[in-house]
């Protein structure tokens, strides 16, 4: 999984992060046309007469038919070796259950993978591999989607964040991906187009992915208000992943959103500045919730410590105390956990007293 390095005292630095923000270049794909065959000679003498030679009617240059390449069969895929001929292991557990093979040529050295949240356009073919021959089960050209949307837009082998297919492909060539058990990373999208692949679930498949275009998102050059909008989008995507139980994916997005708003000096509008501060605090607190689900207790403690330094006496402090208390309890620090949880209880009692006072007198 890509990572973003985190430095103290930011809560983001306590999370195991994402990888540096990457730039996705907008590159249009062009078809290659084979050179035309040589045209026949323009003139030919007429035999047996003294007449002037007549010109041969002009003909349109003949184009060679494009070469049709069949999908590799089971035997070909079985010969793939990680680290050779552009083959890499992109399965989440690094167990070679999902392999990606990059094209041998055709890609620009400057081509980059899509940024998280970028709109992408791609061609996709999916073949079911059998003992006899590969059978095409799906084909779509110009398919549009968003990378890391938080929702089930594509089969999980393609869309799931981390080290899977879309976050690894670049424009300019056809990538091949081999899945030993299609559908094992999550359910198919509910739309009819994708449900046609239900016959491939739990079977060995080969995917041909060609990234035609990716939205140009240069995260390093976004202005303050643009970073705020981008961070809000990543926060919403993270919430979608969290609801689906994809806690690693949610943690990545919350961490990225928080980092995008770490420096807010260029946000001059006071309303936007307040929004940015609120979004960052919420993302840090939600990152702690993800870490609790992942049982990374020491990271939870570090994140909550940073939150409490910047939010000592508000509702976020109460939530941070509660989550830190749970982490300390799991680490066996009962005395410290008791102290945090007592503060949470006192804050809740105070809140209820205020609530009932206003309920009674208003």
Is 62 domain-assigned? Answer: no
Residue that has been written with the tokens 């680490």 in this structure: 331
Is 227 domain-assigned? Answer: yes
Say yes or no: 229 and 169 in one domain. Answer: no
**Whether 154 contacts 291, CB under 8 Å:** no
Cβ atoms < 10 Å from Cβ of 91:
19
pLDDT beyond 60 at 21: no
| R_g of the chain computed on alpha carbons | 28
Say yes or no: 201 and 257 in one domain. Answer: no
**pLDDT band at residue 164, thresholds of 50, 70 and 90?**
low
The CATH number linked to 88 is: 3.10.50.40
Is 24 domain-assigned? Answer: no
**pLDDT tens, position by position, 269-297:** 999 999 999 999 999 999 999 999 999 99
**Whether 99 contacts 88, CB under 8 Å:** yes
User: What percent of the chain lies above the pLDDT cut of 70?
Assistant: 75
Q: Which of 182, 214, 246 is the last residue of a domain?
A: 214
Is 5 domain-assigned? Answer: no
Q: Which of 198, 214, 230 is the last residue of a domain?
A: 214
Structural domain that includes position 240: 220-361
DSSP 145: E
Give the CA count within 13 Å in the CB-facing half-sphere of 136. 8
Q: How many residues does the chain have?
A: 362
Mean predicted confidence (pLDDT) in 86-102: 89
Is 173 domain-assigned? Answer: yes
CA-to-CA dists, residue 220 to 115, 128, 170, 178, angstroms: 11, 41, 19, 34
Say yes or no: 207 and 224 in one domain. Answer: no
**pLDDT band at residue 182, thresholds of 50, 70 and 90?**
very high
The CATH number linked to 324 is: 1.25.40.10
Q: Which of 214, 229, 255 is the last residue of a domain?
A: 214
Q: Are strands 205-214 and 174-179 parallel, antiparallel or unpaired?
A: antiparallel
pLDDT beyond 70 at 320: yes
Say yes or no: 239 and 273 in one domain. Answer: yes
Residue that has been written with the tokens 């501060």 in this structure: 277
Is 34 domain-assigned? Answer: no
Q: Whole-model pTM?
A: 0.72
Mean pLDDT, the chain, rounded, equals 79
Q: What is the largest CA-CA distance in the chain?
A: 121
* 330 Cβ neighbours under 8 A, 6+ residues apart: 295, 297
């Amino acid at each position: 999984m890509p990572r973003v390095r985190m430095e103290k005292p930011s809560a983001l630095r306590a999370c195991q992060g994402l990888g540096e923000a990457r730039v996705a270049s907008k590159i249009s794909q062009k078809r290659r046309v084979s050179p035309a065959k040589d045209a026949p000679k323009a003139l030919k003498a007429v035999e047996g007469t003294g007449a002037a030679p007549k010109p041969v009617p002009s003909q349109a240059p003949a184009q060679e038919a494009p070469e049709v390449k069949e999908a590799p069969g089971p035997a070909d895929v079985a010969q793939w070796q990680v680290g050779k001929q552009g083959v890499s292991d992109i399965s989440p557990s690094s167990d070679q259950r999902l392999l990606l093979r990059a094209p041998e040529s055709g890609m620009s050295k400057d081509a980059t993978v899509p940024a998280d949240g970028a709109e992408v356009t791609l061609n996709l073919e999916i073949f079911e591999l059998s003992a006899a021959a590969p059978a095409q089960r799906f084909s779509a050209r110009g398919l549009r989607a968003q990378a890391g949307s938080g929702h089930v837009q594509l089969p999980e082998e393609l869309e799931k964040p981390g080290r899977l297919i879309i976050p690894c492909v670049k424009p300019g060539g056809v990538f091949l991906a081999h899945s030993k058990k299609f559908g094992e990373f999550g359910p198919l999208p509910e739309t009819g187009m994708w449900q046609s692949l239900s016959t491939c679930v739990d079977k060995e498949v080969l995917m041909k992915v060609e990234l035609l275009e990716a939205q140009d998102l240069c995260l390093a050059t976004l202005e303050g208000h643009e970073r705020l909008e981008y961070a809000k989008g990543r926060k919403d995507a993270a919430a979608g992943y969290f609801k689906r139980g994809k806690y690693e994916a949610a943690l990545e997005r919350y961490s990225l959103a928080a980092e995008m708003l770490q420096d807010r000096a260029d946000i001059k509008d006071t309303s936007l500045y307040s929004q940015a501060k609120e979004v960052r605090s919420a993302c840090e607190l939600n990152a702690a919730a993800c870490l609790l689900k992942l049982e990374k207790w020491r990271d939870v403690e570090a994140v909550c410590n940073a939150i409490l330094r910047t939010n000592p006496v508000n509702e976020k402090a109460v939530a941070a105390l509660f989550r830190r208390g749970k982490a300390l309890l799991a680490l066996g620090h009962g005395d410290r956990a008791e102290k945090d949880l007592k503060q949470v209880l006192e804050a809740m009692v105070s809140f209820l007293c205020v609530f009932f006072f206003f309920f009674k007198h208003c």
